[in-house]
């Protein structure tokens, strides 16, 4: 199953690969070179397909838990001052996604969307300390009765050139459902209340929609 954000890119890539293979098979007399070109273009197509895959995840709904919004590796767990929305101290948990990870963003908690904003910006590598402030990004806040307001931030990486965010202010959202997509390398930061019990460790690999990040 492939994410809808990748459908057009997949079709275009498939057409280009087909044209390349047809062209070189017709004009080249060297079957070895034709085979190399064919295999190379096929690898590119397979990479595009794997990037836009959208596996079905069976989320066990529990709004007293914060689940991982994405697949990736936990690269930061720290107390920080969140200055865009809360303007106070929060626990930040950051998850880095390589180009090989599933890049679907899922709602970490259910509730009502209180804030949703897109910021244009730079394309520093996603693990750069300033990427959460300077890169292209979106900020979304979801509120429920267990955690109060939880903020997550989609951050574009050095390769990413488009963030897709489905959250709109006033929406009632369900934990684990599709919240957006970040194309080609990225990071997601969660900003949690200080009394949150963190259930992950640095360098831990997490699965979006499944693994627990924090408990109230």
Assess contact for 142 and 112: CB atoms under 8 A: yes
| Same domain flag for 24 and 108 | no
| Same domain flag for 112 and 141 | yes
Quick one: pLDDT at residue 98?
85
Assess contact for 174 and 107: CB atoms under 8 A: yes
pLDDT in tens, 17-54: 888 888 877 777 777 777 888 788 888 888 778 777 88
pLDDT category, 165, cuts 50, 70, 90? Answer: very high
| Same domain flag for 103 and 42 | no
- For 203, the enclosing helix (H) or strand (E) is none
| Same domain flag for 25 and 107 | no
| Same domain flag for 11 and 103 | no
| Same domain flag for 33 and 69 | no
| Same domain flag for 19 and 114 | no
Quick one: pLDDT at residue 105?
94
Nearest to 153 by CA among 49, 40, 76, 55: 76
Pairing of β 88-97 and β 72-82? antiparallel
Assess contact for 85 and 77: CB atoms under 8 A: no
pLDDT in tens, 75-86: 999 999 999 999
| pLDDT-wise least confident of 7-11, 189-193, 201-205 | 7-11
Helix axis angle, 7-27 to 31-51, nearest 10°: 180
Query: Half-sphere exposure (CA, 13 Å, Cβ side) for 48?
Result: 19
| CB within 8 Å of 214: residues ≥ 6 apart | 65, 66, 91, 93, 190, 192, 196, 197, 198, 199
pTM of the full predicted structure? Answer: 0.81
| Same domain flag for 46 and 70 | no
User: Which residues form the domain of 14?
Assistant: 4-51
| Same domain flag for 14 and 116 | no
Assess contact for 146 and 111: CB atoms under 8 A: no
* Domain containing residue 69: CATH number: 2.70.70
| Same domain flag for 41 and 142 | no
pLDDT in tens, 84-128: 999 999 999 999 988 788 889 999 999 999 999 999 876 565 555
* % residues pLDDT > 90 (the chain): 53
Quick one: pLDDT at residue 130?
58
Q: How far apart are CA 158 and CA 142, in angstroms?
A: 27
Domain count, the chain: 2
Q: What is the three-class DSSP state of 82? A: strand
| Same domain flag for 98 and 146 | yes
Which residues are tagged catalytic?
186
Q: How far apart are CA 211 and CA 108, in angstroms?
A: 10
Quick one: pLDDT at residue 103?
83
């Amino acid at each position: 199953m492939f994410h809808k954000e990748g459908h057009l890119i997949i079709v275009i890539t498939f057409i280009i690969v087909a044209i390349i293979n047809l062209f070189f098979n017709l004009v080249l007399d060297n079957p070895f070179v034709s085979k190399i070109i064919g295999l190379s273009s096929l690898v590119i197509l397979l990479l595009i397909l794997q990037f836009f895959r959208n596996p079905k995840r069976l989320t066990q709904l529990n709004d007293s838990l914060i689940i991982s919004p994405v697949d990736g590796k936990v690269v930061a767990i720290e107390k920080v001052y969140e200055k865009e929305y809360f303007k106070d101290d929060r626990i930040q948990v950051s998850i880095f996604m390589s180009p090989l990870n599933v890049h679907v963003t899922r709602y970490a908690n259910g509730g009502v969307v209180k804030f949703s904003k897109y910021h244009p910006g730079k394309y520093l590598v996603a693990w750069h300390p300033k990427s959460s402030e300077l890169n292209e990004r979106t900020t979304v806040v979801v509120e429920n009765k267990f955690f109060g307001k939880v903020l997550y931030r989609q951050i574009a990486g050095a390769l990413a050139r488009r963030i897709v965010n489905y959250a709109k202010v006033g929406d009632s959202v369900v934990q684990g459902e599709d919240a957006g997509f970040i194309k080609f390398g990225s990071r997601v930061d969660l900003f949690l209340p200080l009394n949150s019990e963190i259930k992950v460790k640095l360098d831990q690999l997490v699965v979006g929609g499944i693994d627990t990040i924090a408990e109230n």
